[in-house]
Amino acid sequence: MYLIVHTIHLLAAFTYGGFLFTDNLFMSKMGQSLGDEEAKRAREAIMMHVRKVVPYALLVTVGTGIYMFPTMFGEIGEDGLTKLQIVLLIKAFFGLWLGIRGGNQLFFKIDPFVFKSHKFPFYVVILIIILSQVMQS
């Protein structure tokens, strides 16, 4: 069961993270080659479809992450937290922050109070990727 949940987690994370990469690295530059009005229309045409998938991918990522957390975290030893447990806690904090932010937007139509653009979530996803690699070393 863990392998299936982990696979779903990765696919959903790639969907959410992939959108953030695309938005910040490419879609934000559309105005350079299109006129302002064309860029706005093109972005909205894409975002119309993104809104049907990406927020749910984020929630699936967070939900599966919560499911996997106890298995990965394990028990706290006599020496305290291990390096893996500390990094996992940091990673979980940022993942939960993204999930709460996305859930507020999706279900309650509450816009973020700060960091309204996709830049900060983009940086958080990069940080989570780095932390994932640190956990494996």
User: In this predicted structure, what is the pLDDT of residue 111?
Assistant: 77
Q: Residue 52 — very low, low, confident or very high, per pLDDT cuts 50/70/90? A: very high
Q: What would the two tokens of residue 23 be?
A: 């938005």
Distance between CA atoms of residues 22 and 5, nearest Å: 25
Number of other CB atoms surrounding residue 12 within 10 Å = 22
84 against 117, higher pLDDT: 84
Determine the pLDDT at residue 116: 67
Question: For the segment 89-111, what is each residue's pLDDT rounded down to a tens digit?
Answer: 999 999 999 999 999 888 888 87
Q: What are the domain boundaries of the chain? A: 2-136
Could you tell me which residue, 36 or 91, shows the higher pLDDT? 91
